[in-house]
Amino acid sequence: MTASAVAPLVERPDAAPSPNRRGRWRRRRTTALTPVAGLGLGITMLWFSLLVLIPLIAILVQASSGGWQAYWDALTSPQTAAALRLTVSQALLVTLVNIVMGTAIAWVLVRDRFWGKQFLEVVIDIPFALPTIVAGLVLLSLYGPSSPLGVDWANTRVAVFLAFLFVTLPFVVRTVQPVLLELEPEVEEAAASLGASRYVTFRSIILPALAPAITSGAALSFARGISEYGSLVLLSGNLPYSTEVASVRILSYVEGDKLTEAAAVASILLVVAVLVIVVLDIISRRVARHV
Amino acid sequence: MSIMRRRVLQAAAGAITLGVTATLSGCVGGAAQPASDGSGTTTLHLVGYAVPKEANNAAEKKFAETPEGKGVVWEESYGASGDQSRAVVNGLKADYVNFSLEGDVSRLVKAGLVDASWQDGPTKGIVTDSAVVIVVPKGNPQGIKGWDDLVKPGVKIITPNPASSGSARWNILAAYQQVIANGGTEAEAKAYLTKFFNNVVALPGSGRDATNAFLQGSGNVLISYENEAILARQSGEDFDYIVPDATLKIENPGAVLKEANPKAKDYLNFVLSTAGQEEFVKKGFRPVVKGTPVGTVEGANDPAKPFPVPSELFTIADLGGWDAVNAKFFDEASGIVPQIQKATGKSQ
């Protein structure tokens, strides 16, 4: 996952409904009929199927191969349920923090000039680039028993939260930044000259424009959070019912040659991710429409 | 609109068909065949768990000096034992495998890759032994002498996760069975294991992760293996280890695949000769062949007498074998360990 993969998600046409919808429809229809566009569509679908659809279907087939009973048993195992609860709740919490902090960081990076800005621009991406096991080592030395901060959060739920926070930091920043760059200051100046307070300007002008970008970033950060494994290996202690996350459960099932159960847990993570993305999308549309 | 939708469907159907065909044809290719070219060299593929890498490399060098081993070139893959075993089932090329658990070879037998007779030899398929030991910080500040000290207040135990790491099961079984070896009942052993888990502060994913977490200072006791403790001390780590009076003998299997080049069998025979065993002893493993000369082993508590014999050294066979052990201790629903973890996990 790199910043370049994030960028296209930002420009979602549906977020800002175009006034001449019909005109755009007609144009799309005609392009869909040209051979070049057909080829493009074919390649897109092929690529998408090979990389995403077929593996996803394989997971679902695997999950259902043991019958509903095995599926149900895996999900009702109290240990698995506890791991799923912990993973989803921490990922949601981290996503909320990222929505606020990520937007604030993007704002500072775009609108303010200060010494060391270039450096910060580069450093922001480090959680992307760092192998997660290295991130785990970094976090362990920072928050573990030999912490320079004088804390010892290793093997607690705080460790899970901090690890999620670390690996998901760049998502909202990197999705909001380009949109904020494109935002014309003239619009804000006009709002101000018409007597709008800074709060009203933010609420009615800036936030609706940023909403789709914030949502994309939030969705990515949530999805990354629920799947995190590497950075937790050394930090969380994997204690069942306490600090064990869903990915460790999946790994345990794989180690025990229980692929059906592993796929069952994976499919739940998939469903949760889709649900959260849909909910975020609905919220984003609401905010974008609210002018 | 309808034309476009049909186009999309056509494209999708075409793409999926193509994808499925590609996947299927990918699965069919790459059947194993012994590699031997005309230049007099033979390539053997070794797939194993990470710990005995250096010992295998040393044994390969000595093997090359024998008439059977002349001209053998090695291609090796090392990783977590369970992952490596699954990789071989899924088509990773292997002539000789060296795993940490019998179950990882049994998986290959089930898949038809290893002959069911692999345990018929004098060592029953085992190529190296070791023992479960207690690792403590340098100087042993808590004065830990054996298992009984581990359940005292203030002891923070790190042991790899028995669910995600198969090898971690040795440790839990050692903690349980030592109670019985000392004349205790099953109920007492269970009670001990509950107290033990109450003092566990971390269950890292693998033995190596557990060692790293311990070296970073979380926890003050690490349950590990004698050979790993010796190897880590050979490479400069500074900690002490204790071989308890009663502990579990660790037995690591090695096997030759059915389709393997015949030279792989020669290598296994070499590993099971005293010359081969010597190389493993140097890296901290206990020999499985009687009469293997045990010289000085750097990194051991007493390099001149590296392998003290505990008064009680029990084996997996004493516990009823791996199948029985896995069902009794580690079954997700009814196993002793998940149930104890449930009780202790909820109180934390």
pLDDT given for residue A2 in this prediction: 40
Is B177 a residue whose pLDDT tops 90?
Answer: yes
Q: Which of A41, A240, A258 has the CB atom closest to B345's CB atom? A: A240
pLDDT given for residue A218 in this prediction: 95
Q: Which pLDDT band holds residue B152 (cuts at 50, 70, 90)?
A: very high
| Separation of alpha carbons B160 and B200, rounded Å | 10
pLDDT digits (tens, 9 = 90+) for B34-86: 444 445 789 999 999 988 999 999 999 999 999 999 999 999 999 888 889 99
- From residue A113, give the alpha-carbon distance in Å to each of A90, A138, A179, A181, A207: 34, 29, 18, 14, 22
- Chain B nearest-CA residue for A262: B164
- Given a contact cutoff of 8 angstroms between Cβ atoms, the answer to whether A156 and A86 are in contact is no
**What average pLDDT does the segment B292-310 reach?**
92
A152-179 burial by CB neighbour count: b if 16+ within 10 A, else e? bbbbbebbbbbbbbbbbbbbbbbbbbbb
Is B336 a residue whose pLDDT tops 80?
Answer: yes
Q: Give the 3-state DSSP-derived string for chain B, with helices as H, strands as E and coil as C.
A: CHHHHHHHHHHHHHHHHHHHHHHHHHHHCCCCCCCECCCCCEEEEEEEECCCHHHHHHHHHHHHCCCCCCCEEEEEEEECHHHHHHHHHCCCCCCEEECCCHHHHHHHHHCCCCCHHHHCCCCCCEEEEEEEEEEEECCCCCCCCCHHHHHCCCCCEECCCCCCCHHHHHHHHHHHHHHHHCCCCHHHHHHHHHHHHHCEEECCCCHHHHHHHHHCCCCCEEEEEHHHHHHHHHCCCCEEEECCCEEEEEEEEEEECCCCCHHHHHHHHHHCCHHHHHHHHHCCCECCCCCCCCCCCCCCCCCCCCCCCCCEEECCHHHCHHHHHHHHHHCCCCCHHHHHHHHHHHHC
**What average pLDDT does the segment B240-262 reach?**
95
- Contact between A240 and B348 using a beta-carbon 8 Å cutoff: no
- Contact between A42 and B217 using a beta-carbon 8 Å cutoff: no
- Taken as a whole, chain B contains a residue count of 348
pLDDT given for residue B39 in this prediction: 57
Is B273 a residue whose pLDDT tops 60?
Answer: yes
Is B306 a residue whose pLDDT tops 60?
Answer: yes
- Given a contact cutoff of 8 angstroms between Cβ atoms, the answer to whether B70 and B39 are in contact is no
pLDDT given for residue B347 in this prediction: 60
| Separation of alpha carbons B263 and A172, rounded Å | 57
Is B204 a residue whose pLDDT tops 70?
Answer: yes
Is B30 a residue whose pLDDT tops 50?
Answer: no
- Chain A nearest-CA residue for B213: A234
B299: its two tokens: 């990194």
Which candidate, B194, B181, B187, places its Cα nearest to that of B315?
Answer: B181
| Separation of alpha carbons B342 and A242, rounded Å | 10
Give the DSSP letter string of A173-235. HHHHHHHHHHS-HHHHHHHHHTT--HHHHIIIIIHHHHHHHHHHHHHHHHHHHHT--GGGTTT
Q: Which pLDDT band holds residue A33 (cuts at 50, 70, 90)?
A: low
pLDDT digits (tens, 9 = 90+) for A205-217: 888 999 999 999 9
A230-242 burial by CB neighbour count: b if 16+ within 10 A, else e? bbbbbbbbbbbbb
**What average pLDDT does the segment B190-195 reach?**
95
Tell me the torsion sign for CA atoms B40, B44, B50, B51: negative
pLDDT given for residue A65 in this prediction: 80
Between A145 and B317, the higher pLDDT residue: B317
Which chain B positions have a beta carbon within 8 Å of A82's beta carbon? 345
| Helices (H), ranges, A112-183 | 117-123, 126-129, 132-143, 157-182
- Contact between B348 and A79 using a beta-carbon 8 Å cutoff: no
pLDDT digits (tens, 9 = 90+) for A248-288: 999 888 888 888 888 899 989 999 999 998 999 898 888 87
Which candidate, B316, B279, B300, B287, places its Cα nearest to that of B167?
Answer: B316
pLDDT given for residue B158 in this prediction: 94
Cβ-Cβ contacts under 8 Å for A106 (sequence gap 6 or more): A172, A173, A174, A176, A177, A180
Complex prediction ipTM? 0.71
Is B287 a residue whose pLDDT tops 90?
Answer: yes
Cβ-Cβ contacts under 8 Å for B313 (sequence gap 6 or more): B131, B246, B247, B248, B249
Work out the angle between the directed axes of helices B102-110 and B321-330 (0-180°, nearest 10): 110
Query: Which domains are assigned to chain B?
Result: 42-128+251-282 (3.40.190.10), 130-250+304-347 (3.40.190.10)
Q: Which of B15, B209, B342 has the CB atom closest to A46's CB atom? A: B15
pLDDT given for residue A18 in this prediction: 45
Q: Which range among A92-96, A259-263, B268-272, B323-327 shows the weakest confidence by mean pLDDT?
A: A259-263
pLDDT given for residue A225 in this prediction: 93
Which chain A positions have a beta carbon within 8 Å of B86's beta carbon? 254
Using only C-alpha atoms, chain A has a radius of gyration, in whole angstroms, of: 22
Q: Which of A155, A234, A254 has the CB atom closest to B201's CB atom? A: A155
- Chain A nearest-CA residue for B217: A145
Q: Which range among A1-10, A36-45, A151-160 shows the weakest confidence by mean pLDDT?
A: A1-10
Query: In the 8-state DSSP scheme, what is residue A145?
Result: T
Which chain B positions have a beta carbon within 8 Å of A38's beta carbon? 7, 11
Query: Which domains are assigned to chain A?
Result: 17-64 (no CATH), 68-289 (1.10.3720.10)
Mean pLDDT computed over every residue of chain B: 87
Most confident segment among A55-69, A121-135, B138-152, B200-214 = B138-152
pTM for the model: 0.77
- Given a contact cutoff of 8 angstroms between Cβ atoms, the answer to whether B203 and A239 are in contact is yes
- Chain A nearest-CA residue for B10: A42
